[in-house]
Structures are given as structure tokens and as C-alpha cells.
Structure 1
């Protein structure tokens, strides 16, 4: 099966349909919870706790960062030791509640990204998602440059941060031009940027689409195994067992 990619415009419209009371009936909280759960399962699949428990979660100010906060909560229950870098917090009250949940679990929030990265076994890149438009601003330009050069494996949420959804990595010489994470999890549907993704593993997450919404956007729903919220696909989008 070949998985169709979906443009940034259609991805935004699809999210709107999912939150339409008559079409999808989902709340933002629900979608973020399902996305974060999917991310946490992808982490467990590629990097079980036996490979190292120190997970650094880099979060941006939008929904992609919220997905990272949710993932961190699940990871601590799986036996990991997540640490969160969240320099520009989202203004929505939802993000504050996600922070409270992590504080109540004693998950540390740090401001020194380079030092935290040195002691991490895996980095979750939850900075920018499908709505990203450049240019990069600090502190994220520096953070992405460090992600680009680190030997710590990186799992990117929906998009490698700094990449444009339609055109992939930024031009040569800009932060992120050579950034390719080892793992990518596409949420709801793969985006056109996957054609530039040459990392080792690619997952699709979001086991909640209805047949009617999938049909509207020309998406063929994959068969998710068992109770998993993720399914692995190859870099070209074809189904992978």
C-alpha cells in the first residue's frame, strides 16, 4: 500500500474537520493526547528503556510542543527519565495543564539545552510541525544546529524542525540544512517532506481517522497492528510489517 502525502493546507483543514462537532467531534485535548501517545509508542519501539532511559524532549510553543509534553508524561510511566526543554511556552491554558501534569510527576524542565543533550540517550524533536514557516529565531536556530551535529539519536514529531512541509530542508548554510533525524513519526498522514527523509525508520501515528474523513482527503487507512497507535512505513510511504 502506498500512503498519500497531505499538504500543509490540507493538514490544517483535516484538523479542523476532526474538531468540527458534526464531522469529527474531537477536542484539541483529545487529538494532542492521541498524538503524544503515538510519539511515546514510537520511542518505545525504536529505543526501549534497556537502550537508555534519559530522554530529552525539546518542545516548541505550538501544538507540536504540546505533543511532546504529552509524550513525556507517557514515557515516565514506561520507565524512562524524561527531561523537557521548553524555552517558549504556549499561551493556551491546555499547555499549562500539561506542564502541571509533568511537574506532579517530578519531570524536570531545563534551560541549558547543550548540557542536557550531552547526558541524553535519545532526543525528541517536538519543536515545529506542519505549520512551520521560516526564518528560524533564537533559541531554536541554535538548538537545531546542535541537533544537526549531535551523535544522540533524534526522533522528530511530524516534521524535522526547520524543514518546510512542501520543500523539505532549508537551503545550504542555514540551520537545519543537513539535519536528518534517525526516526520520523508522521501524525495523521505523511507530509510531502518525507521524500527528503533518509533516516532509518518512519512511523505513522493517529489511529482515529474515520473512513469518511480519510476519503475526503484521499487517504488510505493503514492497518494498525494489535492495540498500537503507530504503524511503521518505509521511507517512500509504503506499508511495512
Structure 2
């Protein structure tokens, strides 16, 4: 089955509809996205192989997905740590952080040092709504992601990539190519430039809604929340 991509504009409109007529809350959508990201990492590399996971979280919803993923990774048997330098005062994020603190999941302040100790990194810094300039402290973080040999799973987009036009022409993200990418709900146009393993996750949208917004629901198996999709099977 060939999958159609979902543009940034359509993705934003889909989220708006899901939280209005779809009756989903932001908490629910974040929980489903974070669970999918955690299950994707487990598919890539189980905790017996790569127990130490560094989760890099940005200040927006993508960062919230990362916080949720860190909690699930803990319960899956990993030893996650979280880099979350730009913390919003939004009550939802405060609760997500509190849940991790209760599990004794450490929050780190030196990304480069923590990355050197990690077996895998989850990039949940910027998602489909990112545009414009990468601001501190994230340029050095993305440069580290681009230069290190530690494998990386990007959540919905490699951070600093434009959702429509892919990697930036210059700056820290120019050479950034994660090991794997999980597209939430549907692939975005940036997959045209991606060269790693590609997954789709977020198993909660019906086919009627998918058709309305012009994307396809992949064939999930059993109780799985993610499915690996060949880049050759994505309609660009």
C-alpha cells in the first residue's frame, strides 16, 4: 500500500479537528504519540541491547511527546534520562515532568556529556510545526546529533528539518541524518530526503478522517502501535 504524505498545514488542521469534533484532548494525543515513539525504539533496539536512552525534548508538543516516551521507556525496562532545557510553565508539561521525577528518571543539563554515555538518543526537539531559526541551546545539540555515532530516532521530523523541504541548506542540521524516523499519523514531505529506517505510528485515526485530510492509514499488525514503512512506498 502506497502512503500519501501529510503537509504541515494539513497536520495542523488535523490536530485542530481531532481536538474539536474528534473529542481528543491534547493529553491524549501526546500520550498516543509518546507511546508510539517508545514502542518504535523498542522495535529498533530492546533494552537488553541499548538500555541507556537519552531523550532530548524541545519546548513544544514534540517535547511533550518525548516526556511521555521517556516514561514508557522506563516501564519497558530502559534507563532513560531527559534533556529538557526550555521548560514551559504549561500545567501539562509540569505533570509529565513530575511523573518522571517520581520514577527517579534523571534530568540532565549537559547534552553532549549525556550523549556520550547514551546507547540511543530520542530526538523530540522540533516537530512538524518547526520553522525559522534554531535558537540556543539547540544549535549545539543538533550539531552533536549530526556528528556523533550514537544512533538516533527522530520523532516526526529530524530536528531543524523543514517539514516540506527537508534538511537546511546550512547550519547545524545540514548534515544531520538520524538512524530512524517515526512519522506520527502519516509521513511528511521531508521523507523525500530521509535515508534511514522509517516507521509510522499513532494508531487512532479512522479511515474516514484520513481520507478527509488526504493521507492513508497503514496496515498495523495485532496490537502494535507502529509499522515500518519503506520509503519507496511513500507517495511524494
Under a length normalisation based on structure 1, what TM-score does the superposition of the two structures give?
Answer: 0.95
Kept in 2: contact 1:194–1:235 (CA 8 A):
yes
Does the 8 Å CA contact 2:62/2:155 hold for their aligned counterparts?
A: yes
Instruction: Tell me whether 1:187 sits opposite 2:180 in the alignment.
Output: no
Contact 2:4 2:234 (C-alpha < 8 Å) held by counterparts: no
CA deviations on 1:140-199 (whole Å, 9 max, x unpaired) are 000000000000000000000000000000013x11001000100000111000000001
Please tell me whether the aligned partners of residues 3 and 220 of structure 1 are also in contact (alpha carbons under 8 angstroms).
Answer: yes
Secondary structure in structure 1 of the residue aligned to 2:68: helix
Aligned pair count reads 235
1:238 positional shift = 4.7
Could you tell which deviates more after superposition, 203-212 or 93-102? 203-212
Gaps of 5+ in 1: none
Name the counterpart of 2:126.
128
Q: What's 1:177 paired with? A: 174
Pick one of 214, 218, 236 that aligns with 1:218. 214
- Counterpart for residue 198 of structure 2: 202
Gaps of 5+ in 2: none
**Equivalents in 1 of 2:231, 2:61: separation in Å?**
24
Q: 2:223 aligns with which of 219, 222, 227?
A: 227
Deviations 1:55-97 (A, max 9, x none): 0000000000000000000000111000000000123210000
Q: Kindly indicate whether the alpha-carbon contact (under 8 Å) linking 1:190 and 1:237 is maintained by their aligned counterparts in 2.
A: no
CA distance in 2, matches of 1:103, 1:236: 41
What SS does structure 2 have at the residue aligned with 1:94?
helix
8 Å contact kept, 1:128–1:162: yes
Which aligned runs of 4 or more in structure 1 are off by greater than 6 angstroms? none
Distance (whole Å) between structure 1 residues aligned to residue 64 and residue 81 of structure 2: 14
Which residue of the other structure, out of 140, 160, 163, is the alignment partner of 1:162?
160
Partner residue of 1:69?
67
TM-fit CA distance, 1:211: 2.2
Counterpart position of 1:17: 17
SS in structure 2 opposite 1:137? coil
Q: CA RMSD of the aligned region, Å?
A: 1.1
- Equivalent residue for 1:59? 57
Alignment match of 1:98 (pick from 93, 96, 99): 96
Quick one: which of 115, 118, 121 aligns to 2:116? 118
Please say if residues 56 and 124 of structure 2, whose CA atoms lie closer than 8 Å, have aligned partners that are also in contact. yes
| Contact 2:186–2:217 under 8 Å retained in 1 | no
Matched-pair contact (CA < 8 Å) for 2:121–2:151: yes
Could you give the per-residue CA deviations for residues 86-145 of structure 1, whole angstroms, max 9, x where no partner exists? 000123210000000000000000101111011100000000000001211111000000
